[in-house]
Amino acid sequence: MAQIRAIRNRMTAVGTITRITKTMQMIATAKFTAALARAKDTRPYTSAIRNLVGEVSGAAGDYDSPLFAAKSSAKKELKAQNKEIVIETAGKKAASFFKFQKHNPAEKHTLGDTPQFEDVARLADKYMDGFANGEWNSVSVAYMRFETNARQIPEVIQLLPLSQEEKGEAEATSTNYDFSPSAEAILDDLLPRSVKTALFQAFNDAAVSEQIMRMIAMKAATENANDLGKDLKRDYNRARQAQITTELTEIISGAAALE
């Protein structure tokens, strides 16, 4: 009887866990769907900004920007191989990872499951100001890039300095355009915007990858709980059958003894 009671209690506990993981799976699925929609919506804009920068850069001639190259102080620091890597994290998982690795991030940002462009833009402004002032030689972003539901790729992109390769490639195609205001004035606005959109896209892709991993994890947990529930149900039926058999045997034996 004690064994049956213990199995029944475990069945109740597993049933509760199954309901919880199923609910968490549904929440993660809803968040994943919303995050995927945001990432897909921002990707064309990010690509268009990048292409527009290339087109306008080609017509800007000798235009230069502090976002294209680090200041000399940072370059000298790099040449001397005396550079310091400053780590900043976004989210609890990244902070926990670096804490485990005995690294203390300079800052820990929290942007939530739905990063807002205004928050990311302020972060990008900080990086651009620091880079332009020579505080950093470069700024890179490590994140999980989403491709498909079954494929997310860890990736590191260089946010700053901006590459001048696009400028050279676009010179031949953009010289036929007349810009008003000037190409230089347009680039003064476009270049910071391209940094902000690139960082925002990285955050959106990372959010999608995080939600799909949560969804997969909760789906696996639900399936495991269901399998465990089936095993417990089978054990319960066997234990119950054994108890019934024992009780019948005792009744028959008692009746036989009275004859």
Give the domain ranges of the chain: 10-220
Instruction: Give me the phi and psi of 88, to 5 degrees please.
Output: -125, 145
Pick the range with the lowest mean pLDDT from 64-68, 85-89, 245-249, 253-257.
253-257
Average pLDDT, the chain: 82
Write out the two tokens for 195: 């940094």
Which CA distances in Å does 253 have to 1, 231, 245, 248, 259? Answer: 20, 33, 12, 8, 10
SS3 (DSSP) at 176? coil
Place of tokens 């310091």: 84
Encode burial over 89-103: b for 16+ CB neighbours within 10 A, e otherwise: bbbeebbeeeeeeee
Cα diameter, the chain: 116
Pick the range with the lowest mean pLDDT from 115-129, 163-177, 213-227.
163-177
* pLDDT digits 0-9 by tens, 126-183: 999 998 888 888 899 999 888 887 788 888 988 888 875 545 444 444 455 666 777 7
Q: What is the pTM of this model?
A: 0.75
Q: How many other C-beta atoms lie within 10 A of the C-beta of residue 24?
A: 17
18-42: average pLDDT: 90
What topology does CATH give the domain 10-220? Pyruvate Kinase; Chain: A, domain 1 (3.40.1380)
- For position 81, what pLDDT does the model report? 47
- How far the first Cα of the chain sits from its last, in Å, is 29
